Chain A
Amino acid sequence: MSEHVDPTAPLQGEPSKSTERKLRKEARVQIVSYFLMIFMTSLAFFSIASDAVDSSFAIPFIVIVGAVQVVMQLYVFMHMGEKGTGWINTMIWSGILIAALTVGALMFLIGIVKY
């Protein structure tokens, strides 16, 4: 490490061909999934906002749609599916598990109804 590199120098050059291809493909995927999310959000919105959908169906439906969107955000926008993200997956899913336990406990185990 005798040559010290200046990390504040602007990066020069072009991305490699393969990177460029990858990035182009990625941009497409991102835009498609963005519209997918917009679509799902609208679906959830209309299933509640319009009275057409029965709430016994609508409630589980919007919760599932919400969950799918969260997973899409994590894996598409935030690239949690890429290589070398093992620890990240571990931590995020542990966090989600514990958050879910917390939500469950605070909804059901607060003494109003005994289980």
Chain B
Amino acid sequence: MAEQQASTYEQLPPNPETATLDGRNKYLGFWFFLGGETVLFGSLIGTYLGLRAGTADGPGPADLFHLDLVFIMTMILLTSSLTSVMAIINMKRGSHKKLLGWMWGTVILGAAFLGFEIYEFYDYYQQGLGFGTSAFSSAFYALVGTHGAHVLFGILWISTLLIRYRNSGITLTNAPKFNTAVLYWHFIDVVWVFIFTVVYLLGIGG
């Protein structure tokens, strides 16, 4: 059975994250969770698109959005996706150190993204866009804020893993955990690409 593919192998298992039944369950279950998250963000995006014209005399998208700042944020998040991919490739190579290194890179980039987002919100608030200013503002903060909360959770989650497994080497227990965390991170990125397009680009351009 799967569990017997042990650490005693001469060679590394090609996919340590799915070498055990537990790992395969985690992998599949997490993907399904992401399927649900798709609908969750779909609902928020739909709400935003339905309400984005409802500015009620408050500022609207075109008055507010710093497209260049958001563009930089997008680049940062895309790059953090790449670093996490590199981390997993190194995990499969058996390099614990490089895994940790690339993952810390992801965390730092994620934190930078979050910092910019907080600055962004602060700035919009200064310009008169409170959460309750209009239906548009509520929907905007709800959508981007939920995404931001996901980023925050991702940062905390990955950091926890990195600290917990700083000395453990790559094991059949932590490989699935790193893998799911990275999947989660990619998903956040996917959602952001979509938010960048429909909220920011369409907000300025359409």
Q: Answer whether A and B touch in the complex at a CB cut-off of 8 Å.
A: yes
Instruction: Tell me whether A91 and B32 are in contact (CB under 8 A).
Output: yes
CB-based nearest A residue for B83: A34
Instruction: Tell me whether A88 and B31 are in contact (CB under 8 A).
Output: yes
> Measured between C-beta atoms, what is the minimum distance from A111 to chain B in Å?
10
Instruction: Tell me whether B186 and A63 are in contact (CB under 8 A).
Output: no
Instruction: Tell me whether B41 and A99 are in contact (CB under 8 A).
Output: yes
**CB proximity to A under 8 Å, residues B1-28:** 1, 3-14, 16, 20, 22, 28
Q: Name the one of A14, A62, A103 contacting B46, with C-beta atoms under 8 angstroms.
A: A103
| Secondary structure type dominating chain B contacts | helix
In the assembled complex, which residues on chain A have CB atoms less than 8 Å from the CB atom of B13? 11
Q: How far is the CA of A19 from the CA of B91 in the complex (A)?
A: 12
> Measured between C-beta atoms, what is the minimum distance from A78 to chain B in Å?
5
Chain A interface (Cβ < 8 Å from any Cβ of B)? 1, 3, 5-16, 19-20, 22-23, 26-27, 30-31, 34, 37-38, 41-42, 44-45, 47-49, 55, 58-59, 62-63, 65-66, 69-70, 73-74, 77-78, 87-88, 91-92, 94-96, 98-100, 102-107, 110
Instruction: Tell me whether B82 and A15 are in contact (CB under 8 A).
Output: no
Q: Name the one of B3, B31, B183 contacting A5, with C-beta atoms under 8 angstroms.
A: B3
Contact with A along B33-73 (1 / 0, CB 8 A): 01111110111011101100000000000000001100100
In the assembled complex, which residues on chain B have CB atoms less than 8 Å from the CB atom of A107? 46, 49-50
In the assembled complex, which residues on chain A have CB atoms less than 8 Å from the CB atom of B7? 5-6, 9-12
Q: How far is the CA of A75 from the CA of B161 in the complex (A)?
A: 25
Instruction: Tell me whether A7 and B89 are in contact (CB under 8 A).
Output: no
> Measured between C-beta atoms, what is the minimum distance from B9 to chain A in Å?
6
The tally of residues in B whose CB lies under 8 Å from a CB in A reads 71
**CB proximity to A under 8 Å, residues B138-181:** 168-173, 175
Q: Would A10 and B190 be within 8 Å (CB), given that A41-B78, A62-B197, A106-B50 are in contact?
A: no
Q: How far is the CA of A105 from the CA of B50 in the complex (A)?
A: 9
Instruction: Tell me whether B74 and A41 are in contact (CB under 8 A).
Output: yes
